[in-house]
Structure 1
Amino acid sequence: PAGDWAAGERGIACHPDRIEEFRAGVDRAIRYARALGNEQVNCLAGIQPEGVSDEVAEDTLVENLKYAAKKLEQAGIRLVMEAINTRDIPGFFLNNTQQALRIRDRVCSDNLTLQYDIYHMQIMEGDICPTLEANIGAIRHIQLADNPGRHEPGTGELNYRFIFGFIDRLGYDGWIGCEYKPATTTEAGLGWMKDHNVI
């Protein structure tokens, strides 16, 4: 569950006082995923609540992920979790690859993998291709946007032509989601696909 998005919430999985709400949200996500034919869903860790320590927030996230991974596995649905930069979402609890891998190890479920967002991780840690290479076995979904601006590839500092070739060489066979804001119009923004040999 995303929580109250209009009020600025971005997930509740690290909130120790909302575990029952989280669990009800997992059941709802399963119903939605079945209706839509989704094979995987993303768990948003959320913004760390004021007054909750790092340790308590992580323990809560781990327990919620254990619950979700098991329930989703029983339903034939994969679970992914996404690290998000703290510039766009200040206070977001899960914010880098090493933290995500440590939490995944604690959850200890083959049904939990990473959703790797190139835009977010460029801001938080850089070193995109070496990080992808080192962790591709744990990554089940990739998302993109260029930086700065969160616009389409070719508008910022990232060499997406190189990155796409690198991902292909790694043997990644999943989807790459385009989660960007077009710099101008949606149609004009799709021109990057031809420029980057995607179509």
Structure 2
Amino acid sequence: MLRFSANLSMLYPQHAFLDRFAAAAADGFKGVEYVGAYDYPATQIADVLRENGLTQALFNLPVGDWVAGERGIACLPERRDEFRSSVDQAIGYAYETGCKQVNCLAGIAPSGADRDELETTLVSNLQFAAARFADAGIKLLLEPINTKDMPGYLINTTDHYEAIAARVGSDNLYLQYDFYHMQIMQGDLIRTLERLQPRIAHVQIADNPGRHEPGTGEINYANIFTALSRLGYAGWIGAEYRPSGDTSSSFGWVPE
């Protein structure tokens, strides 16, 4: 059976962040995810999850200053120490919330930066994080993101993920496969899913264009859900979209 998690960074925007947990539970979700909740004590997040009968499906390593436009710090040479400290912080939140996987946003390449140096830094940091997370029994994920929504982001395709993963050389570096981002960057969604399914630990969904709910754009999610079922995909499917209207009225795409 397919399992869906509500991305609380995008869904239920009318509610304060901590109130979104109850809203997701009321709509029938069993899992939640979000960019990060490091502004709140981990014990408070754990309490809200428990009160609403929810599983923490995923969150990200600290991403830097999101409001200022940062989208991860893993590729930035001058932030190496900060990144490595953030690994322990994420492990603490994962332990407290019972989360079994954490995603890494690689970061945006600074203008004029040497790309080889950025990738070498990313590889080194992922080697460090993959080992630390493995010791903690937590999966580390890496996510490719499209260059239209996030110009300059370092990792943009599944091919690039595979190249970085080969350099990292760890069995504990998985792929977060976002159908929306990959439709924009490369298409061929189901064949890529079939080929990489053993390395895919989490998937996310939104339609294109607009990044609204499935059924509002060009992606055939009925076929994608059928493929996920056929392949025996057992991970969470993150509903990471901007509702075109009221969130609770946007779930007509959910398979019966």
Q: What TM-score bracket applies, with the shorter chain setting the length?
A: over 0.9
Percent identity, aligned pairs only, is 57
AA aligned opposite 2:161: A
Correspondence for 1:183: 244
Take 1:33 and 1:186, find their aligned partners in 2: how far apart are those partners?
A: 27
TM-score (norm 2): 0.75
Correspondence for 1:60: 121
Correspondence for 1:91: 152
**CA offset at residue 141 of structure 1?**
0.6
Residues 125-176 of structure 1, C-alpha deviation per residue, up to 9 Å, x if partnerless?
A: 1110111111111111111100001011100001100111012112211111
Take 2:98 and 2:112, find their aligned partners in 1: how far apart are those partners?
A: 39
AA aligned opposite 2:138: I
> Which residue of 87, 91, 107 maps to 1:30?
91
Higher relative contact order (Cα pairs below 8 Å, separated by 6+ residues): 2
TM-score (norm 1): 0.96
> Which residue of 185, 188, 202 maps to 1:141?
202
Take 1:91 and 1:153, find their aligned partners in 2: how far apart are those partners?
A: 26
Take 1:172 and 1:105, find their aligned partners in 2: how far apart are those partners?
A: 23
Correspondence for 2:48: none
Secondary structure of 1:5's counterpart equals coil
Tell me, yes or no, if structure 1 residue 100 matches structure 2 residue 158.
no
Take 1:67 and 1:177, find their aligned partners in 2: how far apart are those partners?
A: 27
Correspondence for 1:131: 192
Correspondence for 1:82: 143
AA aligned opposite 2:251: L
Take 1:162 and 1:76, find their aligned partners in 2: how far apart are those partners?
A: 33
Q: Which runs of 4+ in 1 moved over 3 A?
A: none
Secondary structure of 2:67's counterpart equals helix
Correspondence for 1:165: 226
AA aligned opposite 1:181: R
Take 2:169 and 2:248, find their aligned partners in 1: how far apart are those partners?
A: 43
Q: Which moved more, 1:17-26 or 1:162-171?
A: 162-171
Take 1:98 and 1:145, find their aligned partners in 2: how far apart are those partners?
A: 21
Take 2:104 and 2:253, find their aligned partners in 1: how far apart are those partners?
A: 29
AA aligned opposite 2:250: G
**CA offset at residue 192 of structure 1?**
1.7
Aligned length: 195
Tell me, yes or no, if structure 1 residue 48 matches structure 2 residue 48.
no
AA aligned opposite 1:4: D
Secondary structure of 2:174's counterpart equals strand
AA aligned opposite 1:9: E
Long gaps (5+) in structure 2 = 1-61
Take 2:112 and 2:88, find their aligned partners in 1: how far apart are those partners?
A: 28
**CA offset at residue 50 of structure 1?**
2.1
